[in-house]
Structure 1
Amino acid sequence: MGRSLSPQVFVLRDRAGKRALILQDEEYTIGRSSKCSIRLFDPFISRCHAYLRRIDRGNGQFHYLLVDGNTEGHRSANGMFINDAPAQSRLLRVGDVINFGPQVTALLWKAHDIPTAELELLETAFTRAQMARKHSETRLPVGVVAKPPTELVGSSHQTPQ
């Protein structure tokens, strides 16, 4: 399977903090459920809120299609916004800002746009949050403190910090 020349990075902010995942797989499920491959920590998020599907473009490059709802076609309860516009699905582009809920934001970046040390820290934070699967559907991982909403949603066009 083809890989993007510079891998795409999904940077998340929610009640569990900021974290990132380098996108490589064919498909990712996104939601509050511990069964999701990208777990979001917020009670306004559906158990299966959305999914990402990789679309190969050839020449070693690919995009991700983001679709509201689960893989069986059931939409999420609260929907999603991409670049401040309601969306049911969209082929994502670098720089897109996705809002899954009032305190849950994701940004799509290229790996080379994020300093290596910071990307490693964000990936470690992602792994720790995902390991919280044994906790209840809405509890935060042990040691994670909920941040006020103003710290969770930054400017929609700023680079990751």
Structure 2
Amino acid sequence: MASEAQQNHLIIIEDDKGRREFTLDSPVYSIGRDPKCDIRLISQFVSRRHATLVQLPKEEGDGYYYRIVDGNLKGKASSNGLIINGKKEAAHDLKDEDRIVFGPGVDATYYMLNRDAISTVPPDEYDITLISPSMMPDEDESDESLGITEQGGYELDDSQGYREDE
């Protein structure tokens, strides 16, 4: 049984609203300040319809990729344009980890992740959770000094900022 590769396309936007992640799977996305945009950018420095993402089939026939185009699909460019990987471009076929700048303080990173539909690697038998030694009590500390009662509960005193219940 052959495993078929799946692609996950992600774009992570950083703007005045913070950092947001979008999974891409539709054929077209509008990007901009307009509330009607599929991916809304929150900044006064971007156009209402700043850019468009278009899904295109790969030449090899296995999957697709995204092209980002400045402005809308009718040819109206944005005010600031697009800077992709440090270069101003009107259109760009996106590759993994491409960096897109829409304006001051507004940028995005594109990721294309390939994953096998069927896992062929067994789980790692040495996959463990590490605990920092600073999280462990010293050997000379008794349960009583840690505030642990005989019933297994915890007792807090005034030094820890809590009032004792009487």
Q: Same fold (TM over 0.5)?
A: yes
Percent sequence identity over matched residues? Answer: 35
Which amino acid counterpart does residue 30 of structure 1 have in structure 2? I
Judge conservation of contact 2:95–2:112 (CA < 8 Å) in 1: no
Letter in 1 for 2:41: L
Letter matched to residue 56 of structure 1: P
Equivalent pair of 1:67/1:89 in contact (CA under 8 Å)? yes
SS where residue 109 of structure 1 aligns? strand
Q: Which residue of structure 1 aligns with residue 43 of structure 2? A: 42
Deviation at 1:59, TM superposition (A): 4.0
User: Could you report, residue by residue, the CA deviation over 1:78-107 in whole angstroms, capped at 9, with x for unpaired residues?
Assistant: 111000100100000001000000111100
Q: Which residue of 2 aligns with 1:109?
A: 111
Larger radius of gyration: 2
Count of aligned pairs between the two proteins = 110
Higher relative contact order (CA 8 A, sep 6+): 1
CA contact (8 A) 1:5 1:60 kept: no
TM-score of the superposition, structure 1-length normalised? 0.65
Deviations 1:90-144 (CA, angstroms, capped at 9, x unpaired): 000001000000111100113579xxxxxxxxxxxxxxxxxxxxxxxxxxxxxxx
The answer for the alignment partner of 2:94 in structure 1 is: 92
* Cα deviation, residue 6, structure 1: 2.4
Q: Deviations over 1:17-41 (max 9, x none)?
A: 0011111000000000001000000
* Distance in 1 of aligned mates of 2:22 and 2:91: 20
How far apart, in 2, do the equivalents of 1:66 and 1:73 lie? 13
CA RMSD of aligned residues (A): 1.7
Moved over 6 A (4+): none
More helix by share: 1
SS of equivalent to 1:13: strand
CA distance in 2, matches of 1:52, 1:59: 20
Under a length normalisation based on structure 2, what TM-score does the superposition of the two structures give? 0.63
For structure 1, list consecutive stretches of 5 or more residues without a partner in the other structure. Answer: 114-161
Consecutive unaligned residues in structure 2, runs of 5 or more: 116-166
